[in-house]
Structure 1
Amino acid sequence: MANAARTVVCVCISFLCLAFSARSVPAQGSYDVAQAPSPAISIKAVEIHGNKRVDRSTVLFYIKIAEGKAYTNIELVEQIREDVRTIYGLGFFRDVKVDVDSFEGGLRVIYHVTEKPTIRKIEFRGNINIEEEKIRETLTVKAQTIINEATIKETVRNIRKLYQEDGYYFARVEAVLKEGTRNTVDITLMINEGESVEIETITFRGNERISRKDILAAMDTDEAGFWSFITESGIFKEDELEKDLLRIRLLYQSRGYFKAQVGQPIVKEDRDRGKLNIVISISEGFQYKIGELEIRGGEDVIPPEEIKNKFRLFPGEVFNRGSMIQDTQDISDAFAARGYAFADVQPSTRADDEKKTVSIIYNVKKGRRVYIGKVTVKGNTRTRENVIRREVRVTEGALYDSKGLTTTRRRLNRLNYFGDVKVVENRRPGSSDILDIDISLDERPTGSIGAGFGFNSREGGILTASIREDNLFGRGYRMSLNGSISGSSQLAVASFNNPNFQDRDFSLGGDVFIVEDEFSTFDNFRQGGRINFGKSLTDDLTAYLSYELSTSKITNVSAVALQDIIDIEGDTLLESKLIPSLVFDTRNSRFFPDKGTLFTVAPSIAGGPLGGDIDVAFFRTDLRQYFNIGDKLRNRFLKKLVCSYRVEARYTDAFKGSLPAFRRLFLQGRRSIRGFDRDDLGPVDRSGEAIGGLSTGLLSTELVHPFVGPTRLVAFFDAGNVWETHNAYDLSDLRYGAGIGIRVITPLGPLRLDVGYKLDKKSGERPREVHFGIGSSF
């Protein structure tokens, strides 16, 4: 009994010491703990008192003390100390105290918390040049939330950064807090905008090997100029200038100056004039060349020599850090293409200051081979899953294929069925060598009904109408009805195409058309149909075979027309034509691509063994390439500038008799030399009217930039002409045009409106022409 009593007394003393030392002491306080050993005592209850807006369960989730656990008094004090720190770290409370008392044969731990005030409202004072709505978009502190000093400081930084990006470098922002009733606070953000400033000069010191112009071209920060109100040049941004220092160093290291150093910029403020002058010091050092190139690791997967043969860097060449980074990425991609999705490639450099060389070792940690797990498709509310899966270029259970995933993204985007395509790779839980692929899609409207009116110099007014569906029944079928009427032509076309017949990678479709064209000396009425087959040879290369059967009838023949036109007036001529073609297409979008290539080769034959009244051979080749050059410009206004060029050549001739006049070639429509009418180019008859030719050539270059919404602004330069056989493709006989235009995505398809000017205007010609087009041509 005596031993039992002593035990009870020890426990009580220990408990009282613990309760006294833990009570009302914050996290940073000092706990005086009884040093006598004590048995573990069970926690019967954990309570949170004083919380009003923060839920009790939130606090209990983060603390470690829990009901049912047993602690000695030393363990309990240490755990309470840690829990108090944790509660403070939540950022919701400004005071935390702890009580411990006996409860149901054990202990009860009570955390007394005092919440920080709640933000009642946020107001602004002093903002004149930037609207309040725009400022509110930068706020990280929100009304009706518990105040947090870190988010208030972040908000102040964000607002100041917003003003700096708008040219107000000297803007100052202060957060003023005013306590309200019921533990609330009002925040007033006091803004002193200051005067708008601009960068007057950027000066470099120490640059001898690289010109000031080249260094400025590598930077995003720029001096103010005449077009600053459009290009936003001359605006000072601290974080962008810090990045520019790295860009300058990369520029030097990409030209061999391996040890070039770039000092911190000196910003000289001229508040009276609202100008900033920036001085950047550069230590260029010596130019280094490539020494040895070595690849360590992964030799059993890819022989090092196979990789080195594709390097951009070679021993003896000038060192280029940019090329080294690209070579590193190429090594990583090569391993990823062989299933090593997480291959880690780290280049290390070793400089020989005496020989002025840099040796590079690419250290490869290939990791484990990774396999494709489950491929899941989400978000396709209308498009059938097989339509999506036939664009997927990876196989479940196969080795990981980075190129296949890249191709999958591009093919899904090119369908134009979806506004957003995400192909996400996720490690499967519990497995380090399986990646599940989640394809998330956002369906977009694919059908349209519309009508429009346009104008161009030759045809006058143009009335168009269209019904179009690019994803009929969610099966990927394409159907369209198009019609147009103008002063010199009428067109009606009905088309249907299944781009992947029975999911077998070949297409099947057809067209029915009626076309009436008015030429200067005759009219041609043409009607017929076409059936089209296509087969995918690779992901980017498709072979097509089309057969067309049509009739043509020549009417309203002028007395000055060519004799072969006069001879067939009123006759109905049958044309039977076979058109094989190859199309190589790597564009990332059908309508407004910013990268990729479209190359078409399309010969055709009419008559001969195919029958009919017209015996004609025809050949067309068309190359188009697209480049996003905005990324290489230092003008932030032109970041999305796309450059494209097109080279097209056509040739036709009769392989029996003479070529019918209505089969002669013109440059018109989407293959116009803009600035020229159809009748301005090529051979003419005895009355001076254009009669077309047997060959055409067209070279076109465009600069395209987004404008507002679905519109694009265009600047272009065209060259080309129409020739007979004897002077086909005579480059000394080219005609030149240039101008500006606009592109708009409409329900009828892409709308094109261009104003072209002749650069080599001849006597009697109009100086300019207006060109209008919409949808697809036939």
Structure 2
Amino acid sequence: MKAGSKFLNAVSAVALSAGVSSIAALGVLASAGVANAAVVSRIDVRGAERSGADAVRSNITIAPGRNFSNSDIDESVKRLYATGYFSNVSMRVAGNALVVTVSENNLVNQVVFNGNRKIKDDKLQAVVQTQSLGPYDQTIVTADIARIKEAYANIGRSDVQVTTQVVPVGQGRVNLAFQINEGERTKIARIDFVGNNAYSDGRLAAVINTKKSNMLSFLTRKDVYNEDKLRADEESLRQFYYNRGYADFRVVSSNAVLDEATNEYTVTITVDEGQRYDFGNVAVESTVPGIDGSQLQGLVYTKSGSYYSAKEVQQSMEAISKRVAAEGYPFARVTPRGDRDLAGNTIGLTYIVDQGERAYVERIEIRGNTRTRDYVIRREFDISEGDAFNQTVISAAKRRLEALGYFSKVNISTSQGSAPDRVVIVVDVEDQPTGSFGIGAGYSQNDGALLEASIEEKNFLGRGQYIRVAAGAGQDDARSYTLSFTEPYFLGYRLAAGFDIFKSQSSKEEFYNYDEQGFSLRVTAPITENLGTTFKYTYKQFSYDGKGDWNNPANLAAPYRDLIAGGDWSQSIISNTLNYNTLDDRNMPREGWQAALTNEFAGLGGDSEYYKIYGKVRYYHSLSDEYDIIGSLTGQAGYVVPTGDNLYVFDQFKIGGRVIRGFKNDGIGPRIGSDAIGGTTYFAASAEVTAPMPLVPEDVGLRLAGFVDAGTLYGNKVANSAGVQDDSSIRASAGIGIMWASPFGPLRVDYAVPIAKESYDEEQRFRFGMSNTF
């Protein structure tokens, strides 16, 4: 009896289905004769052979010696049904006793799944509510069938069929088998847009995450129809239009129709673009004593005459709110007030700064995270329990959470706390896969075929940590191994600390064997929203095993002669890098700046002693929103100077095809014969235009690029003048490329022709490998 009571109490919180309520009501009506009963002296239980009478008594609200009514009986019947252990419950009064008669459900001995290949047993077991040693309830089983179908629909198998088989095994127990016919993958045949005039169907198809089925859809899974996914696509379209001047844009409707004959969806999204607006007059007004609105004008991102952008409005609100809070007004509220001029197609904007209502954060409630730890979510908020409530800070936290890439959905809402001036922040998230396995391949005439395999996890163990393990192999016995780890909130602060361990080796048959190994320690701290700084320490050990004499050793300074002969070397380097990033999209930037400036010093031990400074800046600008044509300009430069007696070959800069396409990796700059010996000074510039590949749907991810590169490398501190070819003349090339955002990672193929070069430079017109935006 006692064991049954504990077992029943453990499941008494099972949700009551709609059908059970009606059955309970019938039970109460059948027992209407107890309406006038006030008190009973005992409760008799009949039929509870497995669960026990004590378990039944503990799940009803009626107790001996205490008044009760029909509402108590109704509530007691509901509670007993809600346990799931009873198929029938009735109550009646007999003399001084309340008689409770129950019919027990069968118990589930075992739950099995048959026919499932695409979703494993453990995943399905987590989906269904029917569990081993629990009650068999047909209502719950029917709901479990619907849950299994939904799980399959989420992986693109909407025509899955699920049936059940119940096998009695004696003593009131049954085995339950879910028979699953997974069917074929449900595809998306078409995605149609209705009402769009400013942008083509292909341009809008590139904005949304739902994609038309193609031959690689089995890898990307982006052709899986999901209603929640379609709602997210609607929001993506809104943001796309809102940030490009269409303040009145709305999604009229979106739906998907399944053709059961072909098992394919047709998705139709109807939009109303409205007219395009520019910003009119922009001003800041303040009602907060001591805060002058005109002094906040410089914080505003929205400029008169430019296209309306909801993103710039939000950035302006956040910047003003932070400044006012720093002045000692944590409750200040920033509200944009728009003034539409329909005739002139402008929206005048005034940011109103007022005191706001005094409200405090009572608690931050996090829901839906099944993998990510609560503290990983909490640390993205710049406020905590007890702080002044600020809606602008909440918006910034939402943006950070979405940028993490850990969640498929992030919603933040507020509710009333325990007092009028208390607010509860409710964060609803939905975890998504964050691990990936990648295989990268490339080929260059200099290094031959290259292959790299990697495993990457952005949310390691749900702690928000990043880890990557990679191994590569190529021709000439080339091997490489790397291990990287990053803790984004080191010691509880917004400091990204991590390390890298690396090892590589190669063998140039006619020249040398090369072996390198080492590690790096790094920490990155934010300065502003867009600016950060990284401090790094790197230690390398490497060895050269020389083969033959590289041309004429007599022409070389001592350090280079030593290197040819072979030997072991080491570098101990400290560096600081300033990073600036305003790109609108990390994967496919269309607007913004990206820049980095590094100061590097070698000499804290090791053989190298030098100071280096080098940097790179790149600017993106959308040349045509309608046709998705993107332009970019890149500039970079570097200089190294010895701080000791020698500057070795491996201390100097070497550039080539990675900077000026059309040349080998170390194809330009000072040389002795065919050997690159590096230079002390370089600078380079590039201009590039990319557009979607003609006649190919934009959502395939293929883009065509045209580019012009130019630059030079000169100045050598290693070799004597005799025999050294060194010229500071400009090298230049022009070419075309194909970029593909493939399921395996970004791939790029370039063909470039040198149009300005020296006779001793080495060309490589064709390049294939992983694309890199910086």
> Structure 1-normalised TM-score?
0.54
Write the letter of the residue equivalent to 2:62: I
Maintained 8 Å contact 1:218/1:247: yes
Q: Where does residue 667 of structure 2 map in the other structure?
A: 680
Indicate whether 1:224 and 2:223 are aligned.
no
Residues in 1 aligned to 2:140 and 2:234: alpha-carbon distance in whole angstroms: 29
Indicate whether 1:113 and 2:93 are aligned.
no
Indicate whether 1:368 and 2:367 are aligned.
no
User: Among 81, 87, 97, which residue is 1:94 paired with?
Assistant: 87
Q: CA deviation at 1:441?
A: 8.5
User: Among 259, 266, 270, which residue is 1:269 paired with?
Assistant: 259
Maintained 8 Å contact 1:62/1:86: yes
Maintained 8 Å contact 1:335/1:343: yes
Residues in 2 aligned to 1:553 and 1:88: alpha-carbon distance in whole angstroms: 79
Structure (1 or 2) with the larger CA radius of gyration: 1
Write the letter of the residue equivalent to 2:639: Y
Write the letter of the residue equivalent to 1:461: D
Three-state SS of the structure 1 residue aligned to 2:28 is coil
Q: CA deviation at 1:146?
A: 1.6
Residues in 2 aligned to 1:496 and 1:433: alpha-carbon distance in whole angstroms: 47
Counterparts of residues 683-722 of structure 1 (less than 5 Å): 683-685=670-672, 687=673, 689-693=675-679, 694-695=681-682, 697=684
Residues in 2 aligned to 1:444 and 1:430: alpha-carbon distance in whole angstroms: 32
Write the letter of the residue equivalent to 1:160: K
Q: Where does residue 31 of structure 1 map in the other structure?
A: 32
Q: Deviations over 1:53-111 (max 9, x none)?
A: 6577766565433466x32xxx4343223322333344442222224466xxxx65453
Q: CA deviation at 1:681?
A: 1.8
Q: CA deviation at 1:586?
A: 9.0
Indicate whether 1:666 and 2:654 are aligned.
yes
Residues in 1 aligned to 2:225 and 2:498: alpha-carbon distance in whole angstroms: 52
Change (3 A) 1:545 1:180: closer
Indicate whether 1:142 and 2:142 are aligned.
no
Write the letter of the residue equivalent to 1:667: I
Q: Deviations over 1:273-314 (max 9, x none)?
A: 554444454455666788999999995798777788656667
Residues in 1 aligned to 2:156 and 2:472: alpha-carbon distance in whole angstroms: 43
Write the letter of the residue equivalent to 2:130: K
Q: Where does residue 65 of structure 1 map in the other structure?
A: 62
Change (3 A) 1:154 1:494: same
Q: Where does residue 528 of structure 1 map in the other structure?
A: none
Q: Where does residue 15 of structure 1 map in the other structure?
A: none
Residues in 2 aligned to 1:398 and 1:202: alpha-carbon distance in whole angstroms: 47
Change (3 A) 1:653 1:209: closer
Write the letter of the residue equivalent to 1:681: I
Change (3 A) 1:226 1:332: farther
Residues in 2 aligned to 1:319 and 1:87: alpha-carbon distance in whole angstroms: 60
Three-state SS of the structure 2 residue aligned to 1:263 is strand
Residues in 2 aligned to 1:754 and 1:253: alpha-carbon distance in whole angstroms: 31
Q: Where does residue 461 of structure 1 map in the other structure?
A: 477
Counterparts of residues 22-421 of structure 1 (less than 5 Å): 26-29=27-30, 31-32=32-33, 41=39, 45=42, 49-51=46-48, 63-66=60-63, 70-71=66-67, 75-100=68-93, 109-122=98-111, 127=115, 130=118, 133=121, 136=124, 139-144=127-132, 145-149=134-138, 151-169=140-158, 171=159, 173=161, 175-176=163-164, 178=166, 180=168, 183-185=172-174, 187=176, 189=178, 197-232=186-221, 234-241=223-230, 243-244=232-233, 248=237, 255-256=245-246, 258=248, 260=250, 262-263=252-253, 265=255, 267=257, 269=259, 271=261, 273-282=262-271, 299=288, 310=299, 366-369=357-360
Indicate whether 1:651 and 2:639 are aligned.
yes
Write the letter of the residue equivalent to 1:220: N
Residues in 1 aligned to 2:91 and 2:602: alpha-carbon distance in whole angstroms: 96
Counterparts of residues 375-774 of structure 1 (less than 5 Å): 454-455=473-474, 460-462=476-478, 486-487=507-508, 488=512, 490=514, 560=552, 563=555, 565=556, 581=576, 583-584=578-579, 601-602=597-598, 618-621=612-615, 648-652=636-640, 665-667=653-655, 677=664, 680-685=667-672, 687=673, 689-693=675-679, 694-695=681-682, 697=684, 723=712, 733=732, 759-760=752-753
Write the letter of the residue equivalent to 1:96: V
Q: Where does residue 447 of structure 2 map in the other structure?
A: none
Residues in 2 aligned to 1:149 and 1:346: alpha-carbon distance in whole angstroms: 54
Q: CA deviation at 1:337?
A: 8.3
Residues in 1 aligned to 2:676 and 2:346: alpha-carbon distance in whole angstroms: 66
Write the letter of the residue equivalent to 2:615: T
Q: Deviations over 1:107-163 (max 9, x none)?
A: 6545333233333455667x5874664883574133422234554344323333344
My pick for the range that moved more, 210-219 or 186-195, is 186-195
Maintained 8 Å contact 2:465/2:485: no
Q: CA deviation at 1:650?
A: 1.6
Q: CA deviation at 1:672?
A: 7.8
Q: CA deviation at 1:664?
A: 5.3
Three-state SS of the structure 2 residue aligned to 1:620 is strand
Residues in 1 aligned to 2:667 and 2:185: alpha-carbon distance in whole angstroms: 53
Three-state SS of the structure 2 residue aligned to 1:180 is strand
Residues in 2 aligned to 1:188 and 1:721: alpha-carbon distance in whole angstroms: 69
Q: CA deviation at 1:204?
A: 3.8
The total of aligned residue pairs comes to 625
Residues in 2 aligned to 1:135 and 1:82: alpha-carbon distance in whole angstroms: 35
Residues in 1 aligned to 2:641 and 2:50: alpha-carbon distance in whole angstroms: 85
Q: CA deviation at 1:682?
A: 1.9
Maintained 8 Å contact 1:675/1:739: no
Write the letter of the residue equivalent to 2:252: V
Three-state SS of the structure 1 residue aligned to 2:211 is coil
Q: CA deviation at 1:680?
A: 2.4
Q: Where does residue 641 of structure 1 map in the other structure?
A: none
Residues in 1 aligned to 2:732 and 2:683: alpha-carbon distance in whole angstroms: 12
Three-state SS of the structure 2 residue aligned to 1:201 is strand
Maintained 8 Å contact 1:141/1:155: yes
Write the letter of the residue equivalent to 1:733: A
Q: CA deviation at 1:673?
A: 7.0
Q: Which runs of 5+ in 1 are unaligned?
A: 1-22, 374-390, 415-426, 500-506, 508-533, 627-631, 633-643, 704-714, 743-751, 773-778
Residues in 1 aligned to 2:466 and 2:355: alpha-carbon distance in whole angstroms: 46
Q: Where does residue 514 of structure 1 map in the other structure?
A: none
Residues in 2 aligned to 1:495 and 1:50: alpha-carbon distance in whole angstroms: 72
Q: CA deviation at 1:208?
A: 3.8
Change (3 A) 1:579 1:602: farther
Q: Deviations over 1:581-610 (max 9, x none)?
A: 5545999xxxx9x9x999664557999xx9
Change (3 A) 1:406 1:97: same
Change (3 A) 1:739 1:653: farther
Maintained 8 Å contact 2:156/2:225: yes
Three-state SS of the structure 2 residue aligned to 1:112 is strand
Write the letter of the residue equivalent to 2:91: V
> Structure 2-normalised TM-score?
0.54
Change (3 A) 1:598 1:179: same
Q: Deviations over 1:638-658 (max 9, x none)?
A: xxxxxx999652224689999
Maintained 8 Å contact 1:225/1:233: no
Write the letter of the residue equivalent to 1:695: Y
Three-state SS of the structure 1 residue aligned to 2:69 is helix
Residues in 2 aligned to 1:321 and 1:468: alpha-carbon distance in whole angstroms: 37
Maintained 8 Å contact 1:675/1:770: no
Maintained 8 Å contact 1:647/1:699: yes
Maintained 8 Å contact 2:246/2:273: no
